[in-house]
Amino acid sequence: MRHRTKLLTSVIAAALLSAGASVPVFSQEPAKAIARLTTSEGEPAGSVEFTDGPNGVLIEALITGHAPGEHAIHLHETGKCSPDFSAAGGHIAPEGTVHGFLSQEEPHTGDLPNIFMDVEGAGTAHFFHRGISLGGEKADLLDDDGTAVIVHEHADTYTANADPGARVACGVVEPYL
């Protein structure tokens, strides 16, 4: 869709120029994507929105229906949540990276900060990730095999040996229509 918009804009601009008209400046909306999360029982569990920027992606999470406290949230390498959440595979992790922001090595691309759930089981988080994109040269969340967002039962310790527990919610990243 984005390519058709660029092509149409170019065709219109070329036609206007050949007719001697001045070309209007079109403001292009940034690419957006969303992962609609569900629990393993199929219940809605919030959403995570992604907005592509020139230097990375803004991630806005609104998670619901989980135990109060901190929960790990990660970007996983395959855009599948069924037949169970293990279909999402592991974190997006280029070769040579290690899980955890506090590791000595470069962390996984799929590592994200924990999200805190309030007493009603809802949490919001906004963060910026320079290592991903929505159709660009960096880790493309909308590539051929897609990307999943996984919320875990417990917090991430940000170390290589972290075990945030069971996968309690999953959503596939899809273009925002």
- Name the nearest CA neighbour of 165 among 176, 175, 155, 177: 155
Which residues, including other chains, have CB under 8 Å from residue 82's CB and lie 6 or more apart? none
Q: What is the pLDDT of residue 23?
A: 45
Q: What is the pLDDT of residue 159?
A: 94
Instruction: Tell me the pLDDT band of 176, cut-offs 50, 70 and 90.
Output: confident
Q: What is the pLDDT of residue 66?
A: 93
152-173 pLDDT, tens digit each: 999 999 999 899 999 999 999 9
Q: What is the pLDDT of residue 29?
A: 73
Hunting for tokens 């990730």 — which residue is that?
129
Q: What is the pLDDT of residue 5?
A: 42
**How far is residue 57 CA from its own chain's centroid?**
8
Yes or no: say if 123 and 115 are a contact pair by the CB < 8 Å rule. Answer: yes
pLDDT of 24 strictly over 50? no
| Angle value at C-alpha 141, between 55 and 38, nearest 5 degrees | 125
Q: Where are the beta strands (DSSP E) in the chain?
A: 32-39, 44-53, 56-63, 69-71, 73-76, 115-117, 123-129, 132-133, 139-140, 148-152, 167-175
98-108 pLDDT, tens digit each: 999 998 888 99
Average pLDDT over the chain, rounded to whole? 87
CA terminus-to-terminus distance, the chain: 10
- Name the nearest CA neighbour of 127 among 44, 59, 40: 59
Determine what percent of the chain is predicted with pLDDT higher than 90. 72
User: DSSP states of 82-113 as a string?
Assistant: -SSGGGG-SB---TT-BS-TTSSSPBPTTB--
Q: What is the pLDDT of residue 64?
A: 96
| Angle value at C-alpha 107, between 46 and 53, nearest 5 degrees | 55
